[in-house]
Structure 1
Amino acid sequence: MTDAPPKMSARDVSVFYGDKQAVKNVSIQIDMDKVTAFIGPSGCGKSTFLRTFNRMNDTVASARVEGLVTLDGEDIYSPAMDVVQLRARVGMVFQKPNPFPKSIFENVAYGPRIHGLAASKPDLEGIVESALNRAGLWEEVKDRLQDSGTALSGGQQQRLCIARAIAVDPEVILMDEPASALDPIATAKIEELIGELRGRYAIVIVTHNMQQAARVSQRTAFFHLGELVEYGETDAMFTAPRMERTKDYITGRYG
């Protein structure tokens, strides 16, 4: 059996903020059917690198990205790439839940509406219900879709943000420490959700929690001081890391 081509790949990617280099020549492949975790101490470049996959660094005036990042083999930094379209295909969930100050329904309907994905109101309602279902939230909110999204609990807000990301039918979902602001029960729900979404989307999660990486991912990339130190199967990395720096981090010698 031939391996499927990677969904996304980065080749020799570096990111600079002004004169400071935050990410140094990172190459990695993101597969469709696996959850990939980025781990490493705070400030090691993992979130900055994650943001190169949907050009979120474009929003930072001093940021500059070098190298090649592709989605289905297409250069996402090429002038021909429509960034709005790219961000529909590569969705993002942030560390702090950030629902729009609108109703639960409107939070999820927003993307499909601006991208013209629904031909009619019943269509749109179907998309919203499906996204909330996939995000494990429908049963909790179906009777209060007109309530404000900001009135939900933190864990529900984060699942609403995941529903919002998947409503436009993305191919890749980037998650930047999606559970770090949540309590253990809400965190467990987000982890369970990641397991359910695996295979339907390519998922990349940044986490500072090694146990979480071990639980939810099949591949792990360890970053340190802006460099990709090691990348491989999650089980192998946590049981028999190849690099001394990885071993030191995993055994708690620093970080």
Structure 2
Amino acid sequence: MNTHATDMTATTTPMKMATRDVHVFYGKKEAIKGVDIDIDMDNVTAFIGPSGCGKSTFLRTLNRMNDTIPSARVTGTITLDGEDIYDSAMDVVQLRARVGMVFQKPNPFPKSIYDNIAYGPRIHGLATDKAELDRIVEKSLQRAGLWAEVKDRLGDSGTALSGGQQQRLCIARAIAVDPEVILMDEPCSALDPIATAKIEELIHELRGKYAIVIVTHNMQQAARVSQRTAFFHLGDMVEYGETSELFTNPKEEKTRDYITGRYG
């Protein structure tokens, strides 16, 4: 099953995260079955597959979000810069600052636009004074492509923004704590096509600054935004490789059937 996972080892770009033989259980049910994958800084990695195939479950292992589910158990090894993120010495709060998460539904805090961005840097002590915090807020909103739209109303509530703006606000909030990896769990599924295009453009702009992993149910989106794609089916990672190759010349029959619409 993992034979195609090792394709990544040929890359010359520095590896940011690696998983080896990762299994996820909810009670006795095995949701993820031994996944090996390497994630680097220079490529956006997409996870695709039918609903319930395990792609979001696996994404959540990368910053230990499954810790919040009492019945969940993760085995195998997941490393960030060679360090085991499930080691008992790992500070989970720090881990989630380093590996940020953007969810399917935009979830701004019920605070001002400014305070949504400033919240993380304040908690993590990233700003020594108000001027530095102002700089972090502005830079994060600029990187998220939102600054021009909100710079004159930073005191307004983040929840008053449109859906697409809220999602970019959540991306800016993730960026504000200076992460190394950004995980996106179907970030455009609640958005209209124009807002979706803006998020996709943003992903292109952020590539190389962060390691980015996106779960998407939209194969066209995976083809547009990613350079590497992993196809999941029933908890197995069936195939992983260059996005263009996987979509035009898949190695596995299951991948071909899914891409051509035979099931899923």
Sort the TM-score into its range (normalised by shorter chain).
over 0.9
Partner residue of 2:148 out of 139, 161, 174: 139
Counterpart check, 1:128 vs 2:137: yes
Q: 1:86 corresponds to which residue?
A: 95
Q: 1:103 corresponds to which residue?
A: 112
CA RMSD of aligned residues (A): 1.0
Corresponding pairs, count: 255
In the alignment, the residues of structure 2 paired with residue 144 and residue 191 of structure 1 have an alpha-carbon distance, to the nearest angstrom, of: 25
Q: 1:57 corresponds to which residue?
A: 66
Q: 2:6 corresponds to which residue?
A: none
CA contact (8 A) 2:13 2:42 kept: no
Instruction: Give the CA deviation at 1:141.
Output: 0.3
In the alignment, the residues of structure 2 paired with residue 97 and residue 109 of structure 1 have an alpha-carbon distance, to the nearest angstrom, of: 17
Counterpart check, 1:242 vs 2:261: no
Q: 1:44 corresponds to which residue?
A: 53
Give CA-to-partner distance per residue, 1:146-192, whole Å, 9 cap, x none: 00000000000000000000000100000000000000000000000
Give CA-to-partner distance per residue, 1:36-63, whole Å, 9 cap, x none: 0000000000000000000000000100
Counterpart check, 1:194 vs 2:207: no
Counterpart check, 1:154 vs 2:188: no
Instruction: Give the CA deviation at 1:4.
Output: 3.6
Q: Which amino acid aligns with 2:196?
A: T
Instruction: Give the CA deviation at 1:2.
Output: 7.9
In the alignment, the residues of structure 2 paired with residue 196 and residue 169 of structure 1 have an alpha-carbon distance, to the nearest angstrom, of: 16
SS in 1 for 2:223: helix
Give CA-to-partner distance per residue, 1:91-143, whole Å, 9 cap, x none: 00000000000000000000000000000000000000000000000000000
Partner residue of 1:251 out of 222, 238, 260: 260
Runs of 4+ in structure 1 over 6 Å off: none
Normalising by structure 2, what TM-score? 0.96
Partner residue of 2:229 out of 214, 220, 234: 220
Instruction: Give the CA deviation at 1:3.
Output: 1.9
SS in 1 for 2:199: helix
User: Equivalent pairs: percent with the same residue?
Assistant: 81
Partner residue of 1:35 out of 44, 65, 71: 44
In the alignment, the residues of structure 1 paired with residue 71 and residue 186 of structure 2 have an alpha-carbon distance, to the nearest angstrom, of: 24
Give CA-to-partner distance per residue, 1:188-231, whole Å, 9 cap, x none: 00000000000000000000000000000000000000000000
Normalising by structure 1, what TM-score? 0.99
Q: 2:191 corresponds to which residue?
A: 182
Q: Which amino acid aligns with 1:225?
A: L
Instruction: Give the CA deviation at 1:79.
Output: 0.6
In the alignment, the residues of structure 1 paired with residue 145 and residue 159 of structure 2 have an alpha-carbon distance, to the nearest angstrom, of: 17
Q: Which amino acid aligns with 1:199?
A: G
In the alignment, the residues of structure 1 paired with residue 141 and residue 41 of structure 2 have an alpha-carbon distance, to the nearest angstrom, of: 22
Counterpart check, 1:26 vs 2:27: no
Instruction: Give the CA deviation at 1:33.
Output: 0.7
SS in 2 for 1:7: strand
In the alignment, the residues of structure 2 paired with residue 193 and residue 65 of structure 1 have an alpha-carbon distance, to the nearest angstrom, of: 32
Q: 1:115 corresponds to which residue?
A: 124
The runs of 5 or more residues in structure 2 that have no matched partner are: 1-9
Instruction: Give the CA deviation at 1:238.
Output: 0.5
SS in 2 for 1:116: coil
SS in 1 for 2:95: helix
SS in 1 for 2:217: coil
